[in-house]
């Protein structure tokens, strides 16, 4: 899954894809490089971010989606109206970082649209989530949350086979907790749904490399996280640098057989 953030402030590619033509070229290049789907988002969820209005978010993503005819698209949004417009423009997957808790109309929309859905774990909200994340056992707590959200989605009429789950790397977790979630990914895979991991460029990578103030992580570190997550059962890797990840994951798959 390639990432195209149509935002001025995303933590790693903010401002790069604000021009819809540039964003569409980037999305198509990601597919050429081997991405199965491109995740388009118009609202940064980086730690400390404030959120954007509906009009602002639509104004960012709609011109991009209009240019992506024929490209497999995921829409990264917590707003049902943004998802509705994106689905009408051909998006196949709704990537909701609030796991259907952000907008009461989202579950019904996804159920009626028969699209795919990603349910992600987040403790708190982006503005404050990194202040003091606390868990009894981060993996067990995230698994219980995802299981509950999966049941909620299915009870709302969304087909279980269309749902994937994501522990939400960096969303209300310490550096150690992010790595533990990948180390023990088999416990999340046991929920029986495909697992998405988005470790690409995240600050925990830069911090484990020795910079306690890092805001991002480098490419080689992102690839290492993706490959080890894949080895432990992740099947969808959300990444900014598609070509390098596809090369690494192809070799990892050849080794693992």
Sites for ligand HH2 among residues 170-229 (CB under 6 A): 196, 198
Alpha carbon 255 to its chain centroid, in Å, reads 26
Stretch that binds ligand HH2, among 5-13, 19-27, 80-88, 132-140 (CB under 6 A): 5-13
Asked if 72 contacts 37 with a C-beta cutoff of 8 angstroms, the reply is yes
Burial 14-47 (b: 16+ CB within 10 A, else e): eebbeebeebbebbbebbeeebebbbbbbbbbbb
User: Is 173 among the residues known to form the active site?
Assistant: no
User: Is 67 among the residues known to form the active site?
Assistant: no
- The CB-of-233 to ligand HH2 minimum distance in angstroms stands at 16
- Residue 91 tokens read as 């998006």
Asked if 67 contacts 21 with a C-beta cutoff of 8 angstroms, the reply is yes
Stretch that binds ligand HH2, among 4-12, 27-35, 55-63, 186-194 (CB under 6 A): 4-12
Sites for ligand HH2 among residues 94-123 (CB under 6 A): 95, 97, 118, 120
- How many beta carbons lie within 10 A of that of residue 133, not counting itself? 15
Stretch that binds ligand HH2, among 22-30, 40-48, 141-149, 209-217 (CB under 6 A): 40-48
Counting DSSP H helices and E strands in the chain, the numbers are: 10, 8
Between 31 and 76, name the residue whose CB sits nearer to ligand HH2.
76
Which strands form 234-237's sheet, in the order they lie side by side? Answer: 2-5, 38-41, 73-76, 93-96, 116-120, 163-166, 195-197, 234-237
Binding of residue 85 to ligand HH2 (CB under 6 A) = no
Between 7 and 113, name the residue whose CB sits nearer to ligand HH2.
7
Stretch that binds ligand HH2, among 23-31, 85-93, 163-171, 206-214 (CB under 6 A): 163-171
d(C-alpha 242, C-alpha 247), whole Å: 9
Selected from 2, 6, 10, 61, the binder of ligand HH2 by CB under 6 A is 10
Residue 216: which H helix or E strand, with range?
none
Selected from 20, 26, 40, 41, the binder of ligand HH2 by CB under 6 A is 41
- The CB-of-255 to ligand HH2 minimum distance in angstroms stands at 25
d(C-alpha 175, C-alpha 63), whole Å: 36
Residue, CB closest to ligand HH2? 198
What is the DSSP annotation of 3-23?
Answer: EEE-SS--TTTTTTT-SHHHH
Of the residues 149, 173, 184, 202, which is catalytic? Answer: 202
- The CB-of-203 to ligand HH2 minimum distance in angstroms stands at 10
Residues that bind ligand HH2 (CB under 6 A): 3, 5, 7, 10-12, 41, 44-46, 76, 95, 97, 118, 120, 166, 168-169, 196, 198, 238
Catalytic residue set: 202, 238
């Amino acid at each position: 899954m390639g990432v195209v953030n149509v935002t001025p402030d995303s933590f790693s590619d903010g401002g790069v894809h604000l021009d819809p033509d540039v964003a569409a070229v980037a999305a198509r290049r990601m597919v050429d490089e081997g991405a199965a789907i491109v995740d388009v988002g118009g609202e940064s969820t980086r730690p400390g971010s404030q959120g954007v209005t509906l009009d602002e978010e639509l104004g960012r993503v709609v011109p991009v989606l209009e240019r992506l005819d024929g490209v497999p698209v995921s829409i990264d949004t917590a707003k049902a109206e943004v998802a509705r417009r994106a689905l009408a423009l051909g998006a196949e997957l709704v990537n909701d970082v609030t796991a259907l808790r952000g907008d009461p109309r989202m579950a019904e929309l996804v159920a009626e649209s028969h699209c795919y859905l990603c349910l992600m774990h987040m403790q708190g909200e982006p503005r404050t989530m990194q202040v003091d994340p606390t868990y009894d056992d981060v993996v067990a707590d995230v698994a219980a949350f995802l299981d509950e959200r999966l049941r909620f989605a299915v009870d709302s009429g969304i087909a279980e086979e269309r749902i994937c789950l994501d522990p939400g790397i960096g969303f209300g977790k310490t550096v150690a907790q992010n790595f533990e979630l990948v180390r023990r990914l088999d416990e999340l895979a046991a929920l029986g749904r495909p697992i998405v991991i988005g470790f690409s460029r995240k600050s925990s990578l830069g911090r484990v490399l020795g910079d306690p103030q890092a805001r991002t992580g480098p490419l080689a570190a992102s690839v290492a996280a993706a490959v080890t997550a894949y080895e432990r059962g992740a099947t969808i890797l959300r990444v900014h640098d598609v070509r390098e990840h596809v090369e690494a994951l192809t070799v990892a798959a050849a080794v693992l057989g």
